[in-house]
Structure 1
Amino acid sequence: MIPAMPASAAASARRASVTALHFGRVAAMGSLAALILFAGVWGSWGTAQHVMLAKGREAGTVRVTRCAGDTCTGPFTPTSDGARARARVELAQSVAVRKGQTYDVVLKPGTSDAVRSGPAGILYAWVPFGGALLLASVVVAGGMRLTRVAWVLGLSGAGLLTAAFVALQ
């Protein structure tokens, strides 16, 4: 305390600085949580747009005949109007793609890259967002001290990841 400053003024200045620090922490952690959620949507949208906005895209099935590295290939059989059969399309290999199985797919425009369609494909496309929800829940709980919001974010992320896992089995 400054000797010439009354005690009530010092307490008022301390309250103002604590309030400013609290606001700064909440603003910084809120910005970080928003950035994490934005990155999750951005990471998911690259695949999700093809699955969710499939009107006008080539849809069909692919029977996986070969898996090597991080891709699986097989012949494409069209099921939508305007789609043409192809001898070989590529499907990203994940734990959910097995040789000899047939999967519903949508082709990315102008390429031979296929992405899973249907409910399993939609849920799988949004897996990065599910992870972002889980991570953002930790930031919201620890940095912003909003435990109920954090629980909602965390349970939403866990639910999305669990639903994707179950749908892909």
Structure 2
Amino acid sequence: MAVFLSTFANKVDKKGRVSVPATFRAALEQEKSAGVILYPSFKHPCIEGCGDERIEQIAASIDALDAFSEEAENLQTILADSVRLTVDGDGRIMMPKELVDFAGLDETATFVGLGKSFQIWAPAAYEAHRNEARERARRSGATLRLVRNDGDGGGR
């Protein structure tokens, strides 16, 4: 699976078109994704984004839950609210107004690589979120146990 890295601020035009960062497009091409999948975040005022492989993992993980549970029903809204967008010849996507409004995007969208997925934020909201997350990590003494990446999802 491809990896989304780094942070990019790109202009959003009046029609809601925004350029997907070139490295993100390369990651999507690497995994042979048919486009970009976007949906509103459950946790933050931003848009979650991924390619086909990740959304298939999400769907399979939801399907593994008890079929009629509230948890499954809640998480199925990810799939219901998802949109698949095609990247045009200029590397842009046309974001639906509902998602633009949800994330409070105006003239600039901040693309944030999260590894297997990415987020799209309003710049000031992301700056506040990033600062808060770094402070939480510092206060908690966050550590990370590295796992071996052996090509099949990694083990230890």
- TM-score, structure 1 as length reference: 0.24
Larger Rg: 1
**Bigger share in helix:** 1
Output the TM-score relative to the length of structure 2: 0.26
